[in-house]
Chains A and B, each alone.
Chain A
């Protein structure tokens, strides 16, 4: 416990040191302040932005997009992964397609989706959905396929068959790898959402950053990046907490 506290202190210290370095470098005039504002200035802009209500509005739009896209994409992805993993035929037929889609970055679909879906609220969500869906199918599939075949055999002799075997044995057994995958995909969802908003949305943090860029507001851009980093970090921390709690309960980690 003491070691853990020490570790956290060190973690916090390194982040504080980074901000301090940033502040000092800027104050010492490494670059003109309008190109490289100090940390304190960036924080002030952040508060200012929040006061106008702009930040809250655009942040909540981005958050909702991430939540819907990630939530739907990953949950449907897990279900599809389970279904494919369950049937040998489905696995053989569909795995190559999943593996192929897995290597295509989600942002590559943006131009296509602009044409197919149009510039509306469904478009960014569709991109984030795909960004979470394909990797979660892949992760679930590989997670289940890596289980010992005797797990399935024993479950069968005990009477677990069909969807029951899927949900009572295979899904929970693959949960550690699914959660590890979800942690990565939560980060990807934020990144992808930001990119979509920069390129093709009329709202959201990405748009805010593009507007700031057109008015040369480096402080605002940095403030938005800080928000993005913090949100992404928070998402991953929540999933990691659930993961660690589960793994500890099951005895994977002491």
Chain B
């Protein structure tokens, strides 16, 4: 039975959203800004009005207030209470529910140990680093053993390496506790690292739901493609292992090398911003280099979208203003290089 079920949720930002989140699952809701992601979390928490129904373990919770629903909430700005120490943050919700004395102390200690923040117990939020603040916000949210943990792009303002580390920590914590979690983000890499399943939300509508690879490689909706960074997805017709970790595949008429882990590569995805465009063939460029013709050059904001046809394949390249060579125009012959390490693959056993 799904742990969280949304039935026909509509309001100012959402249009008939239906979603099921399984018990212990980490569901990533992926979408551009303004898609209604935060509103979706607010609906589940009972913080905004909506039509339709929210069910927890099959029971509708629409008439319950936010504190009665049992959700843990980590908002985008974390909303830490500057006047409370780390310890008091964790105790806050427990106190509101009448937990006192030894039990309060014990439970606060448990949560601090869980998130490795015992040494910060008496510190105040503004004296903590970005990563420490994240842990406190998560600790405060999980202290009440919520039915579902709602996270709204909490890692946004952190540097990349810290983000990666926190993702791993969150994943371990979430699996360890078996905590049903809905994590909202616009970052595809974050969705890939975290998600059991991904739900793509665009302009208030849920476009598709499934495991990351399914959504990434199998989507057919161009709107979903845009959210995913418009990867060039190609189906492969032949597969040959060349070397440990390297395979040669033929996809829609072009032969290229791709990284290989295990199984048979069925599809590949080429991120458009990783494609290299050259006017003349670079003799150093041996692998995955193809001759093509520029079909279209589109300027979108500060980016150029260039479509190059290579045989039957139309490959999309995205270049920033600095990267784009303005002498490349429609009808020109160009060489296209697809760096092996940036080719993503979908395999079947």
- Interface residues of chain A, those whose CB is within 8 Å of chain B, are 148, 150-151, 153-154, 156-161, 164, 168-169, 172-173, 175, 249-252
Q: What separation, in Å, do the CA atoms of A74 and B306 have in the docked complex?
A: 64
Q: Give the residues in chain A near B42, CB-CB below 8 Å.
A: 153
From residue A128, how far is it (CB to closest CB) to chain B in Å? 30
Q: What separation, in Å, do the CA atoms of A24 and B45 have in the docked complex?
A: 72
Checking B75, B96, B127 against A158 with a beta-carbon cut-off of 8 angstroms, the contacting residue is B96
Q: Told that A157-B67, A251-B124 touch, could you supply 7 new A-B pairs with CB distance under 8 A?
A: A148-B79, A158-B67, A158-B92, A159-B97, A160-B67, A173-B82, A175-B83
Per-residue CB proximity of B23-46 to A under 8 Å, as 1/0?
000000000000000000010010
Q: Give the residues in chain A near B81, CB-CB below 8 Å.
A: 151, 169, 172-173
Q: Give the residues in chain B near A150, CB-CB below 8 Å.
A: 75-77, 79
Q: What separation, in Å, do the CA atoms of A189 and B200 have in the docked complex?
A: 58
Given contacts A151-B81, A173-B82, contact A160 B73 (CB under 8 A): no
Checking B67, B71, B75, B126 against A251 with a beta-carbon cut-off of 8 angstroms, the contacting residue is B126
Contact sample, A vs B, 21 pairs, CB 8 Å cutoff: A148-B79, A150-B76, A151-B79, A153-B45, A153-B79, A154-B73, A156-B47, A157-B47, A157-B69, A158-B92, A158-B144, A159-B67, A159-B93, A159-B144, A160-B96, A161-B67, A250-B126, A251-B123, A251-B126, A251-B127, A252-B126
At the interface, yes or no: B272 with Cβ under 8 Å from chain A?
Answer: no
- CB atoms of B92 and A160 under 8 A apart: yes
Q: Give the residues in chain B near A169, CB-CB below 8 Å.
A: 81
Q: What separation, in Å, do the CA atoms of A249 and B127 have in the docked complex?
A: 9
Given contacts A175-B83, A251-B124, A252-B82, contact A159 B75 (CB under 8 A): no
Q: Give the residues in chain B near A159, CB-CB below 8 Å.
A: 67, 93, 96-97, 144
Q: Give the residues in chain A near B77, CB-CB below 8 Å.
A: 148, 150
Q: Give the residues in chain A near B79, CB-CB below 8 Å.
A: 148, 150-151, 153-154
- CB atoms of B127 and A157 under 8 A apart: no
In the complex, chain B residues 49-73 whose Cβ is within 8 Å of any chain A Cβ:
65-67, 69, 71-73
Q: What separation, in Å, do the CA atoms of A169 and B124 have in the docked complex?
A: 15
At the interface, yes or no: B337 with Cβ under 8 Å from chain A?
Answer: no
- CB atoms of B96 and A164 under 8 A apart: yes
Q: What separation, in Å, do the CA atoms of A151 and B137 have in the docked complex?
A: 12
